[in-house]
Chain A
Amino acid sequence: MTTATTGRTALRGVVGTAHTRVEGRDKVTGAARYAGEIPFAGLAHGWLALSTVARGRIRSLGTESVLGMPGVLAVLHHGNAPRVDTHYIGALGFPPDPTAALFQQDRVHHVGWPVALVVAETPEQAREAAEALVVEYDVEPHDTRLTAGHPGAHPADGVLPAVTGKGDLTAGLAASAVVVDEEYTTPEEHHSMMEPHAATALWDGGRLEVVDSNQGTTWVQSELAKMFSLDESAVRVRSEHIGGGFGSKGLRAHQVAAVMAATELQRPVRVVMTRRQMFSLAGYRSPTTQRVRLGADADGRLRALEHRALSQTSTVHEFVEPSAGVARVMYDAGAHHTANHVVPLDVPSPTFMRAPGEAPGSFAIESALDELAERCGIDPVELRLRNEPAAGPVSGLPFSSRNLDACFREGARRFGWAGRDPRPGTRRDGRWLLGTGTAAASFHAGAGPSTAAVTAEADGGFTVRISAADLGTGARTALTLVAADALEVAPDRVRVRIGDSDFGPATIAGGSMGTRSWAWAVTEAGRELRERLAPGTAIPPEGITVRSDTTALVGALAQKERHSFGAQFAEVAVDTATGEVRVRRMLGIFAAGRIVNPLTARNQLVGGMVWGISMALHEEAVRDRASGGLYAPDLAGYHVATNADVGDIRADWVDDPDPDDPVGIKGVGEIGIVGAAAAVANAVAHATGVRHRHLPIRPDRVLSAAAARTGAAGA
C-alpha cells in the first residue's frame, strides 16, 4: 500500500504547453499496431465481392466453383447470410446505412454494392476466389447524375433543419445597390485516409470481440449490438490506433462482414477493404450545386442573402450535405433564406467528411462575398468586418464567443494584407501571375456526454480510461495534459487508455467535439479524485477509481451559438502558359477555444488548410454516366495534395477560451478546412481576373477560362 501524492506541489499546469505525442515513439518505430495488424491464432481472411452494375437484381452467384477453390472456407451472400435488423435509430440519431447491412436483399443499388464475402485461409486465396466469383445481374437503367434542376430533389433535414427564412428576398434584392447571383459547384470528394478500413471479429466465451479502426468504439459497439440483436454487454469493440478517419470510420460493411463470417465459421475472421473498395463502401462527400444570391448597399452591408444547396444521396440511405447552413452562423441580412435539398441517385451513400456542409458551403458563400467586395469596391476583409452579426442570424441567440474580427485583424497584419492592390492580374513573377485572397471560417463547437474513469494506482501513477479515439488528432496526448492538470500532477505520471468500448459510453471523435467532450469527463473525474486523495491517503493495491458522467452537465449548457471561427489568407501563383496554380503561402488565424497542445493543434489546423488546398486544386472523383462507377477509383486517379503541392502554410490563434467549458476547449479538427478553398479561389481570381466557381481549379479550367476571356476581349 502506498500513499497519495496528488496536488501536493503547486504546478503551473500543462494545458497550453507543447507536448510530443505520448504514443509517438510507437508510431515512429512501427510498433503501434493498427486494426489489421493484431495477430490472432487461426485467423481466416474475408474478401468482399462488389457489384459491377449500378442498378438491378442479382440473378445468380457462381458460388459452387468458388467453394472448390484452394483454401476457401465460405461464401456469404444474400441467399445464406444471417438476417440482421436495420429498423433502428443509431447513436447519432439516424437509421443505419443499409450498405453496411450486408446481404439482406438481392437488389443492387450502386456500382460497388457488396454482393458476397469470400472467406479463405489466406488473403491471396480469398482474393483470387472473390475475383473468380461470377455474378449475373438483371440490369436496370440507372441515374447517377446530379443536376441543378433534378426532378428528384427535395428539401431534407439531416443534422440541420432543411430550410430557414426571414424577410422578403425579392424586395431585399430589388432594394440593393449591388447584387451577386451565381452558381458554384464542388465535386464528389473522398476521405482517403491512409489506413483502409479493417476489422477482425471473433467469439470469445460467448462474447463478440471486434478489433477495428473507428471513430468511436461504443458507437460501433451499439450499432453492431442492434444490428445483430445482441446485448451491448455481449459486444466489445477495440480500436487503439486509427490511421485517419475524417468522418468515414463508423459502422461499415467490413465489420458486419467480419462478424457474419466469424459467427458462421466460429473462428476469427479479418476483413480489410481494398483502396478501390473504399471508394464505394467508405462514404464520401457529395458533389454540390449551390446558388448564392447576395444583395447589399453600396457600402457592402447585406440586405438580402439566399443560399440554396443541392447534394446527392443513395437510394437506400439519406445523407444531406448541409452546405447552406454556413450563413445561418456567419452573416445576417434583413432577408435571409437558406435551404438544403437532396436528390437520391443510384450512387453509394455519402457521409460526414471533414467539415460536412461548412467545407463546400464556405467555398460558395465566401467566394460570393469576395465577388460582392469586388463589385462594391470594398476590401474583402473590411466587407466581412462590416457584416459581423451581433447575434445568431437565424437563431437570434448570443454567441458564446466569436472573435472573428480579431482573427481578421491579426491575420491581415501578419499576412501583409494592408495596401493590397485590389486590381486583378497586375502582379507578376516571371511567367507566374500572383494574387492574394481571404475567406472566413466557422465550425460548430459542441460537446457530447461522456463517461471516464480515473484511477490512482498504488505505484503513484494515474490511469485514465475513456473510450475516446485518437484519429491522429493528438487526443490521447491532449487528455494526458488535461488529466495532469485536473489531478495537479506532472503528465508523465498519467497514462491514458482509450479505444475500448469496455471503458463505457463516450462521444465519438467527430464534429470537432471529441477532445472537448472527453476532456470534460476526464476533468470531472480527475478533480474529484484529487479531492478524495488528501495527502497521505492510503492507496490499496487495486487503486482508487473515480468515475464521471457528463450527461447532466452537457445537457445543462445554455442555448447559445457556439462555434469556432477563423480568417484564412492565401497567396497563389498561376502559370499562364500551363494553367498550373501553386499556393505559395497560406495563413490561418483561428478563434478555436483554449488550445490544449499547441504542437498537435497547429498540425491539425495546418492539416485542415492542406485539405482546403487539396479541395481547391486537386480533388475530384468523376463518375462515368454509362457505367455509374468512378473513373480510376484509386490514389492515382483521385488526387490528394502531395508534399510538393504544399508551400509555406501557417496556422495560429487568438485567445478565445470557451467560457462554458471547464478547460475552455472548442475544437480544432475541422475549422482548418473551412474557407480554405475559397481563400485559394479568391486568390486565383485576384491573380488572373477570372473567377472560378467550379472546383477543382484544374489547369485546363484555368487555361480555357483565360482563353474565353481573351476571346471575349478580342471580339
Chain B
Amino acid sequence: MAPAPSSTSSAVTLNINGEQHQLTVDHRTTLLDALRERLDLTGTKKGCDHGQCGACTVLVDGRRAVSCLNLAVAAEGREITTIEGMAEGGQLHPVQQAFLDLDGYQCGYCTPGQICSAIAVIEEHAAGWPSAATDDVRPEAGPPALTPDEIRERMSGNLCRCGAYVSIVQAVTRAAEDHEAAAREDDRAETVKGAAA
C-alpha cells in the first residue's frame, strides 16, 4: 500500500515502457529503487548504486541514463524504457537476440544494462555522434564506422566482471549491422513508395 504524500514523500506518475504508474515515493528513492522495490521491474540491476558500473542503465527520453543517479521524483514526465520494454509482442529486440545468439554475457547481471546501452549506442552512432575513439570528429566527416574500437569505447560505461566483452562487441556489431540493413530497407521502401506516388 502506498503511503500518503508527506513532507518527505510525494505522489508521482511515472511513464515506464508506455504505461503510467502512480505511486508515492520517499524523496530519497532513486529511479532504480522505484523500479525494483516498488514496481517489481527487477530487470534493471543494482551493481554499485554509485553510477560506476552501468548495470542500472535505462533509457530516459530515448537516451541512456544510470537510474541509480536519478531520483524517482525527478523522473516524472519522462519516457522511461527498461529492459522489460525492449521486446515487442514476444519478439526479442535485435540487440537482445544478438546477445542471446552470440553469448554476449555470462552471469547475466550486467546484461540488461549492457543491452539498454547498446540500443542507445546504435542510435547515437546512427545520429552521427562521435566518441573518444573517433579519429575525425568534424561534422563534415560524417558518422565514423562502428568498428570494434568504437563499440568498445562507447560500451565502456557498462562493466562486465565475467569478462564477456569480446562477445558483447560481437553482439553489438551484429545488431548494428542489422539496424543499418533495416534502415537501408526502409529508405528503399520510402523511395519505392515515393516513386509510386
Q: Kindly list chain B residues whose C-beta atoms are within 8 Å of the C-beta of A241.
A: 107-108
The answer on a CB contact under 8 Å between B111 and A27 is yes
The answer on a CB contact under 8 Å between B156 and A642 is yes
The answer on a CB contact under 8 Å between A635 and B111 is no
Q: Kindly list chain A residues whose C-beta atoms are within 8 Å of the C-beta of B50.
A: 275, 634-636
Q: Using an 8 Å CB-CB cutoff, how does the interface string of A242-262 with B read, 1 for contact, 0 for none?
A: 111010000000000000000
The answer to whether the Cβ of A702 comes within 8 Å of any Cβ in the partner chain is no
Chain B minimum-CB-distance residue to A651: B166
The answer to whether the Cβ of A122 comes within 8 Å of any Cβ in the partner chain is yes
Chain A minimum-CB-distance residue to B131: A644
Q: Using an 8 Å CB-CB cutoff, how does the interface string of B158-173 with A read, 1 for contact, 0 for none?
A: 1111111111110000
The answer to whether the Cβ of A287 comes within 8 Å of any Cβ in the partner chain is no
The answer to whether the Cβ of B130 comes within 8 Å of any Cβ in the partner chain is no
The answer to whether the Cβ of A192 comes within 8 Å of any Cβ in the partner chain is yes
Alpha-carbon separation in the docked complex, A356 to B83 (Å): 36
Alpha-carbon separation in the docked complex, A110 to B102 (Å): 44
The answer on a CB contact under 8 Å between B161 and A27 is no
Contact residues of B with A, CB < 8 Å?
Answer: 26, 28-29, 33, 36-37, 40-50, 52-53, 55, 82-84, 86-87, 92, 96-97, 99-101, 103, 105-112, 115, 133, 151-153, 155-156, 158-169
Within residues 616 to 651 of chain A, which ones have a CB less than 8 A from any CB in chain B?
634-636, 640-644, 646, 649
The answer on a CB contact under 8 Å between A195 and B47 is yes
The answer on a CB contact under 8 Å between A472 and B165 is no
Q: Using an 8 Å CB-CB cutoff, how does the interface string of A586-622 with B read, 1 for contact, 0 for none?
A: 0000000000000110011011111100100000000
Alpha-carbon separation in the docked complex, A648 to B179 (Å): 24
Q: Using an 8 Å CB-CB cutoff, how does the interface string of A120-137 with B read, 1 for contact, 0 for none?
A: 001110001000000000
Chain A minimum-CB-distance residue to B96: A28
Chain A minimum-CB-distance residue to B42: A37
Residue from B83, B96, B110, B161 whose CB has the most chain A CB atoms within 10 Å: B161
**One of B49, B112, B164 near A30 (C-beta < 8 A):** B112
Contact residues of A with B, CB < 8 Å?
Answer: 20-21, 23-34, 36-37, 39, 122-124, 128, 191-196, 241-244, 246, 272, 274-275, 471-474, 599-600, 603-604, 606-611, 614, 634-636, 640-644, 646, 649
Q: Kindly list chain B residues whose C-beta atoms are within 8 Å of the C-beta of A635.
A: 47-48, 50, 52-53, 159
Main SS of chain B's interface residues? loop
Extra contacts besides A243-B110, A610-B166, A635-B159 (13): CB < 8 Å: A27-B100, A28-B97, A33-B42, A193-B161, A194-B55, A603-B164, A611-B163, A614-B163, A635-B53, A636-B52, A643-B151, A644-B133, A646-B166
Nearest first, the 10 A-B pairs at minimum CB distance are A30-B43, A472-B107, A243-B109, A610-B163, A472-B106, A27-B108, A607-B163, A30-B83, A37-B42, A635-B52
In the complex, 14 of the A-B residue pairs with CB atoms within 8 angstroms, ordered by the A residue number, are A29-B96, A34-B42, A122-B37, A191-B161, A193-B107, A194-B159, A195-B45, A275-B49, A603-B167, A606-B163, A643-B165, A643-B169, A644-B155, A646-B166
Alpha-carbon separation in the docked complex, A644 to B108 (Å): 20
The answer on a CB contact under 8 Å between B166 and A649 is yes
The answer on a CB contact under 8 Å between A640 and B161 is yes
Nearest CB of chain A from residue B120's CB, rounded to whole Å: 15
Total A-B contacts with CB atoms under 8 angstroms apart:
177
A25-B100, A641-B163, A643-B160 known; A32 and B152 CB under 8 Å?
Answer: no
The answer on a CB contact under 8 Å between B103 and A603 is yes
The answer on a CB contact under 8 Å between B42 and A30 is yes
Alpha-carbon separation in the docked complex, A124 to B73 (Å): 15
Alpha-carbon separation in the docked complex, A37 to B55 (Å): 14
Nearest CB of chain B from residue A293's CB, rounded to whole Å: 33
Q: Kindly list chain B residues whose C-beta atoms are within 8 Å of the C-beta of A472.
A: 105-109, 162
Chain A minimum-CB-distance residue to B36: A37
Chain B minimum-CB-distance residue to A608: B163
Residue from A32, A123, A474, A635 whose CB has the most chain B CB atoms within 10 Å: A635
Chain A minimum-CB-distance residue to B38: A122
The answer on a CB contact under 8 Å between B45 and A194 is yes
Q: Kindly list chain B residues whose C-beta atoms are within 8 Å of the C-beta of A246.
A: 161
Nearest CB of chain B from residue A43's CB, rounded to whole Å: 9
Q: Kindly list chain A residues whose C-beta atoms are within 8 Å of the C-beta of B46.
A: 36, 196, 272
**One of A24, A28, A275 near B48 (C-beta < 8 A):** A275
The answer on a CB contact under 8 Å between A194 and B99 is no
Alpha-carbon separation in the docked complex, A573 to B55 (Å): 30
Alpha-carbon separation in the docked complex, A33 to B105 (Å): 16
Alpha-carbon separation in the docked complex, A195 to B155 (Å): 19
The answer on a CB contact under 8 Å between B165 and A646 is yes
The answer on a CB contact under 8 Å between B160 and A30 is no
Nearest CB of chain A from residue B31's CB, rounded to whole Å: 14
**One of B29, B47, B86, B103 near A20 (C-beta < 8 A):** B103
Q: Kindly list chain A residues whose C-beta atoms are within 8 Å of the C-beta of B165.
A: 610, 641-643, 646
The answer on a CB contact under 8 Å between B83 and A604 is no
The answer on a CB contact under 8 Å between A194 and B109 is yes
Nearest CB of chain B from residue A618's CB, rounded to whole Å: 11
Q: Kindly list chain B residues whose C-beta atoms are within 8 Å of the C-beta of A640.
A: 159, 161
The answer on a CB contact under 8 Å between A29 and B48 is no
The answer on a CB contact under 8 Å between A194 and B42 is no
Q: Kindly list chain B residues whose C-beta atoms are within 8 Å of the C-beta of A34.
A: 42, 45, 109
The answer on a CB contact under 8 Å between B106 and A607 is yes
Q: Kindly list chain B residues whose C-beta atoms are within 8 Å of the C-beta of A27.
A: 100, 105, 108, 111
Residue from B50, B92, B105, B165 whose CB has the most chain A CB atoms within 10 Å: B165
The answer on a CB contact under 8 Å between B48 and A195 is no
Residue from B36, B47, B83 whose CB has the most chain A CB atoms within 10 Å: B47
The answer on a CB contact under 8 Å between B166 and A29 is no
Chain B minimum-CB-distance residue to A30: B43
Nearest CB of chain B from residue A390's CB, rounded to whole Å: 35
The answer on a CB contact under 8 Å between A607 and B162 is yes
The answer on a CB contact under 8 Å between A25 and B92 is yes
The answer on a CB contact under 8 Å between A600 and B103 is yes
The answer on a CB contact under 8 Å between A194 and B100 is no
The answer on a CB contact under 8 Å between B48 and A643 is no
Q: Kindly list chain B residues whose C-beta atoms are within 8 Å of the C-beta of A122.
A: 26, 37
Alpha-carbon separation in the docked complex, A607 to B40 (Å): 31
Chain A minimum-CB-distance residue to B117: A643
Residue from A27, A34, A604, A614 whose CB has the most chain B CB atoms within 10 Å: A27
Q: Kindly list chain A residues whose C-beta atoms are within 8 Å of the C-beta of B96.
A: 28-29
The answer on a CB contact under 8 Å between A194 and B101 is no
Alpha-carbon separation in the docked complex, A21 to B106 (Å): 9
